Structure 1
Amino acid sequence: MPPNYPYEYAVLPGATMDQINEPSDAERLEGFNFFFGITEVVGAFMIILIGVWIGNFRGGLGWTSNPKLEFNWHPLMMVLGLVFLYSNGMLIYRTQRNVRKRRLKLIHGGIMMFSLLFTIIGLIAVFDSHNLATPPIPNMYSLHSWVGLTSVLLFCCQWVAGGFSFLFPGIQPHLRAAYMPVHIYFGTAGFIGAIASCLLGLNEKAFFAIKDYSQFSNEGILVNIIGMSLIIFGGLSVYIVSQNRYKRLPRPEDDVLLTPRNQ
């Protein structure tokens, strides 16, 4: 075993010294920095494109005095909160693997809290823009709205259940371990649902608002590029979070949270 190595190796009976000294799949980080860097670049590019779309083609931002401009907060806030921040919240355990678990949990919960805040602003904007329009526009009739609200509700349930399970000191470690696969699965499912909802919403907006969409107009092409960036960003995020070799290795202090010795 390498000297001063902080983690234990699982040694199989009959294993050779080369096999014992070889890192497990969970320790192989080849390509991680590349994939994460590309993911962040695509995410930033995606947010910039949405800003360009809103500013150059949709008239900018407003609030209740102009429902059409208030609506523009919806795509911006939903992509920023329920896609970009959501992804970075999921990946925090892989990007900050040398930070203590207690602090990582607090950072993870904080990022998800901001994600929820932006999502709430986005939901208020879309409901206001429908209810204050002349005449009012019906709410919750489209597949986009059904998928989107389902993703938001799943996200909220995940945030509450995760906060209680992983930050509450009284929960036994074996219960946390049992809930962890459920948390990871539904967290990933909610993220995929958010990506799907954004794509449905972009397509819906393009058909309703871009009159020359079928003529390869500049706005239509921009909306399609935003959609492709969402797919690439989502695919890269799910790839990184699903790779066992990129997982943060457990440490002895991980089971002891929110106690004076870890302060």
Structure 2
Amino acid sequence: MSGNFAKPQFVLGLVVVELLLFVLVLPLLLKWLIYYEGGFHWYTKATDQTTEKFFNIHPLCMVLGFIIVLSQGVLVYRVIPGPKIVAKIAHASLHLITSILIILGLVSVWKYHTASGYPHLYTLHSWTGFSAILLFGLQFLFGFLYFLGDDYANIKRTMIPIHRYLGLCILVLSTIASVAGINEKLFFGMGKKHVPIINGSNGPQPAEYPDKPPEAMVGNFLGLALCIAVAAVIFVATRPSFQRKSDNYNDPDREPINKAY
């Protein structure tokens, strides 16, 4: 078997992607949510679910699941050598982890909005995010039914290019939702905090987003880092030279990714 994992240019691309995700995105996310937003706490009482610590579980789980873990799932076929069933199990396991994180994040924001009296699903962030969740659910269901087994060869041959394309669409949609969510949180939340700015016209007052306080800059850099990291993931995932080749000539996974699209 010719393993793309051994190619120097692929290893370099993979290292760049992982550095972007774990050295740039993850520290910025934790810096924003822990240092500026107060950290995390799961509450069972409705009266406590209006706190920012409860809401913060939502962006944490969504970025971890939809960006960091899902990116590993997209690239796992390019990384794991040996029998393809091992890569399939790893791919499905990473998507299962993503599913759990999405559910936790969705429960957190839904309970927070309900307890706070906010309406649901009215912003572009929520529309794009919910679209990504629906697509991911369908993708995971059909992938589990058809791709883990060895049956349905004709259906698999038809579904593989669609499966690949939708996977990247989900990654892009979740990135759009994440960036919109960060921007929305900065716009709606910063004026409510008691973070003074020295040169306010009426003395010390809460910093707004246009005042460019440090939190706003961290949020902006986080959104930019997400876009760069996901662009790198898509680049590595769509390079024909990085495509895993199957030992079985009749396996539809043998088709190069550029032809599949």
Quick one: which of 138, 141, 144 aligns to 1:160?
141
Supply the AA of the counterpart residue of 1:43. Answer: L
Query: Where do residues 31-46 of structure 1 align in structure 2 (5 Å cutoff)?
Result: 31-44=9-22, 45-46=24-25
Aligned pair in 2 of structure 1 residues 150, 222: CA closer, same or farther (>3 Å)? Answer: same
Q: CA deviation at 1:253?
A: 8.7
Is the 1:144–1:201 contact (alpha carbons within 8 Å) kept by the matching residues of 2? yes
Counterpart-to-counterpart distance in 2, 1:31 and 1:103? 23
Q: Residue 16 of structure 1 aligns with which residue? A: none
Q: Residue 186 of structure 2 aligns with which residue? A: 206
Q: Residue 126 of structure 2 aligns with which residue? A: 145
Are residue 115 (structure 1) and residue 98 (structure 2) matched?
Answer: yes
Whose radius of gyration is greater, 1 or 2?
Answer: 1
Q: CA deviation at 1:95?
A: 1.3
TM-score by length of 2: 0.83
Are residue 71 (structure 1) and residue 55 (structure 2) matched?
Answer: yes
Q: Residue 71 of structure 2 aligns with which residue? A: 87
Q: CA deviation at 1:169?
A: 3.3
Is the 2:14–2:236 contact (alpha carbons within 8 Å) kept by the matching residues of 1? yes
Q: Residue 19 of structure 1 aligns with which residue? A: none
Q: CA deviation at 1:31?
A: 2.1
Which is further off, 205-214 or 104-113? Answer: 205-214
RMSD over aligned CA atoms reads 2.0
Is the 1:90–1:241 contact (alpha carbons within 8 Å) kept by the matching residues of 2? yes
Q: Sequence identity, in percent?
A: 27
Q: Residue 54 of structure 1 aligns with which residue? A: 33
Are residue 191 (structure 1) and residue 187 (structure 2) matched?
Answer: no
TM-score by length of 1: 0.82
Secondary structure of the corresponding residue to residue 40 of structure 2: coil
Counterpart-to-counterpart distance in 1, 2:244 and 2:144? 19
Which is further off, 80-89 or 246-255? Answer: 246-255
Question: Structure 1: which 4+ aligned runs deviate by more than 6 Å?
Answer: none
Q: Deviation digits for residues 194-225 of structure 1, max 9, x if unmatched?
A: 00100110111111112322122100000011
Is the 1:27–1:245 contact (alpha carbons within 8 Å) kept by the matching residues of 2? no
Q: Residue 203 of structure 2 aligns with which residue? A: none
The structure with higher relative contact order (CA 8 Å, sep 6+) is 1
How many residues get paired? Answer: 229
